[in-house]
Amino acid sequence: MAKINVTGTDISIIKIEDSDYISLTDIAHSQMEEHIIFRWLSLKNTIGYIGEWEYLYNPNFNYTEFGTIRNSAVSTLVSP
């Protein structure tokens, strides 16, 4: 797995076929704010985006189960 160094923090890069993907977790760790990812993932818009991505690119995507997850997401950030 390749890494790039951004302002003193190593960010993982994974190559799948001809595409490179960076680690959002590594970026969050670089800010010393792990809860950023948890908050971001709980937003309805983020969940909707991930669902659309999976629907388009994952032939085994379980859209019914995804509906349960989407409906449990919050509309705005929730204080810890």
Structural domain boundaries of the chain?
Answer: 1-33, 42-74
Q: What's the whole-model pTM score?
A: 0.51
Match 């001809």 to its residue by tokens: 18
Per-residue model confidence as pLDDT tens digits over 24-58: 778 777 666 667 777 777 778 888 888 898 999 99
Count of Cβ atoms closer than 10 Å to residue 43 Cβ: 16
The mean predicted confidence, pLDDT, of the chain is 80
CA atoms within 13 A on the CB side of 31: 9
